[in-house]
Structure 1
Amino acid sequence: MKKIGVLTSGGDAPGMNAAVRAVVRKCIYHDIEVYGVYNGYQGLMEGNIKQMILGSVGDIIQRGGTILYSARSEEFKTEQGQQKAIEQLNRFGIEGLIVIGGDGSFRGAEKLTQKGYPCIGVPGTIDNDIPGTDFTIGFDTALNTIIDAIDKIRDTATSHERTYVVEVMGRNAGDLALWAGLADGAESILIPEKPDDFDSVVQKLIRGQKRGKKHSIIILAEGIGSGIDYGKRIEEATNMDTRVTVLGHIQRGGSPSGFDRVLASRLGAKAVDLLLDGKAGRMVGIQKNELVDHDIIEILQQKHHINMDMYRLSNELSI
């Protein structure tokens, strides 16, 4: 293999640049030409592809977002769109493609692999919702962004003796909410993987108030529903002064943590190794701090599971 392409797709995640850097430098180390595909699969169909050199990835390991940009593409989901992408890959002579993104991005990689273009998926999403890996690129940074925000919210919650509902991202996975809630001592954590027991949340707030507790923090994953609506329900049920904070897209931005930089570097380099070993249709990941790879089709058929031991612990510690 003499030419490898790399693209980022779907929602951006801190650490994507570190992964791109690892792919580019690993390829150049092995005397392989490497091409950056800009604007995800949309850019691939349009031929927005440029050869990358060492200087292309200089001074990016500490930057959030992705220098290759990202875009969602409905056209690529069609046979016609995939054929356009294949034509561009042929035009540039690209023999293998590394796709950094989430499950939707991996489905695109799967389609191209089935059509004869070897692809490797690198899990990059703050949601941490990809089976087959303990952590995805961007999760740790987003988690620490949430923790920092909740620390600040707790200061004002204490000062004004209020209850705060904090809505965090995560799509249909509760990892960000669970980890942030446990790390910040939230009174209740609401995640899609567990039924919403509104009465128990209310009772916990009332018990706390009776023993003299002046403020509370409730973490709500966006997959549950609207934090604003939930805050109104809490206030109506408890008559407590309640405020809502929706953290939104600040969770995606910022300089990646040391953990995410190292993880992205390891996974990006591993993806190149797999292509050089003649493997295709694989996803790289990390389990028990060891790099692994899985069949990407099998991974897409599996379901991400939350760590229920952590969820039970959070309930035990928030009495």
Structure 2
Amino acid sequence: RQAPTVEQLYTVARALETYRIDGLLIIGGWLAYRVAHNLYSERERYPAFKIPIICLPASIDNNLPGSELSIGADTALNAIVEALDRIKQSAIAARRCFVVEVMGRYCGYLALMSGLASGAERIYLPEEGVSLKDLQADVERMIEGFHGGRRFYLTIRNERANAQYTTDFMCRLFEEEGHGLFDVRQAILGHVQQGGNPSPFDRVLATRLAAHCIDFLTRELERGSAAGAYIGLVEGKVMISPINRMHDVVDLEHRRPTEQWWMDLRPVMLGMARPAADAV
């Protein structure tokens, strides 16, 4: 959970030499990728780092470069959708608005995809942010819907969509502005989204990527070279990218790729959630 500091790199180098490590397959999330990039960048100072290194994406946030899906993201998404289905089944009998908070850090993949799968009326993403004007429009649309006979309104909020407009704030706002027209409840799924048995897709993806990683390390050792890379699934194909160019394709401040394929689905979600006359 902590990247080695500059002072600790010497200790890491000595450990690699002591245990005669010939290559590294690093499985993890953003921090793991950052550490791998640091080791590769410090090769001139520490010869022990001149070994083949490859990163395998494993994060429910799905915020890693070079791969459309990270191991764990599909399992987490399935857990979220199952929880949302239960919430909808229990709340449909009452006139109720639910604000559900999901994980993802500064990447809205889980929020958007779970909202699309569960038929959410509104999704708040860190990529777009939240403004007071947005909330006002959402409240007006919500009230209009309940006046028109709606019995359930589902809102999904990424945990870091906005630092000030929290899940609790939104619930209080909707409750106040609803004036008794509907009840408002919140559900913070928390660590329910993590752990559990991996989905079949994640199991197959993990096996597929790991096999390619071993092949990569084997080829590098046979050639006597020491490339650094990260692996991923892009358009159904396994792709290997050089780690020294990783910073060219990531947003370091928000710890996510600069290009996120699933953001193209945002108009689809809006079209499904809103009436035709209101869609954008």
Tell me if the contact between 1:187 and 1:216 (Cα under 8 Å) persists in the aligned partners.
yes
Alignment correspondent of 1:173 = 107
SS of structure 1 residue aligned to 2:126: coil
TM-score, structure 2 as length reference: 0.84
Aligned positions, number: 246
Match of 2:195, as an amino acid?
G
Summarize the Cα distance change of 1:214–1:120 in structure 2 as closer, same or farther, 3 Å threshold. same
**Residue equivalent to 1:39:** none
Corresponding residue SS for 2:161: coil
The 2-side partners of 1:201 and 1:98 are apart by 46
Q: Is contact 2:60-2:72 (8 Å) kept?
A: yes
2:217 — aligned with what? 275
Tell me what 1:183 maps to: 117
Q: What residue in structure 1 maps to residue 249 of structure 2?
A: 302
Matched, 1:145 2:79: yes
Query: How many Å separate the matches in 2 of 1:104 and 1:301?
Result: 17
Matched, 1:256 2:198: yes
Go from structure 1 to structure 2 and tell me whether the alpha carbon gap of 1:301 and 1:231 turns closer, same or farther (over 3 Å shift): farther
Instruction: State whether residues 118 and 275 of structure 1, in contact with CA within 8 Å, keep that contact through their aligned partners in structure 2.
Output: yes
SS of residue matched to 1:160: coil
Pairwise CA RMSD: 1.5
Whole-angstrom distance in 1 between the partners of 2:190 and 2:168: 13
Is residue 140–residue 260 contact of structure 1 (8 Å, CA) maintained in 2? Answer: yes
Distance 2:246 2:178 in 1: 44
Aligned mate of 1:127, from 58, 61, 73? 61
Q: Does residue 208 of structure 2 align to residue 237 of structure 1?
A: no
Taking the aligned partners of 1:158 and 1:210, their CA distance within structure 2 comes to 16
Q: Report SS of the residue matched to 1:217.
A: strand
Could you tell me whether the CA contact under 8 Å between 2:126 and 2:158 is conserved in 1?
yes
Q: Which residue of 2 aligns with 1:97?
A: 24
**Secondary structure of the residue that 2:92 maps to in structure 1?**
helix
Aligned to 1:25: none
Structure-1 separation of matches of 2:59 and 2:92: 33
Give runs of aligned pairs for residues 15-164 of structure 1, distance below 5 A.
72-74=1-3, 76=4, 78-114=5-41, 115=43, 116-164=50-98
One-letter amino acid of the counterpart of residue 283, structure 1: Y
State the SS of the aligned residue for 2:93. helix
> What's the % identity of the aligned pairs?
36
5+ residue gaps, structure 1: 1-71
Partner of 2:167: 227
Amino acid corresponding to residue 128 of structure 1 in structure 2: N
How many angstroms apart in 2 are the aligned matches of 1:153 and 1:287?
A: 34
Offset of residue 233 of structure 1: 1.8
Greater CA drift, 106-115 or 264-273: 106-115
**In structure 2, distance between residues paired with 1:265 and 1:230:** 41
Aligned to 1:214: 151
Aligned residues of 2:98 and 2:154 also touching (Cα < 8 A) = yes
Is the 1:192–1:223 contact (alpha carbons within 8 Å) kept by the matching residues of 2?
Answer: yes
Q: Choose 172-181 or 156-165, whichever is displaced more.
A: 156-165
Unpaired runs of at least 5, structure 2: 44-49, 221-225, 251-256, 275-280
- Cα distance in 2, alignment partners of residues 181 and 164 from structure 1: 12
Counterpart of 1:312 in structure 2 is 267
Q: Which runs of 4+ in 1 moved over 6 A?
A: none
Native 8 Å contact 1:107 1:300 kept in 2: no
One-letter code aligned to 1:317: M
Question: Which residue in 2 is equivalent to 1:50?
Answer: none
Measured after TM superposition, the shift of residue 287 of structure 1 is 0.7
Aligned letter for 2:16?
L
Quick one: which of 132, 135, 138 aligns to 1:198? 135
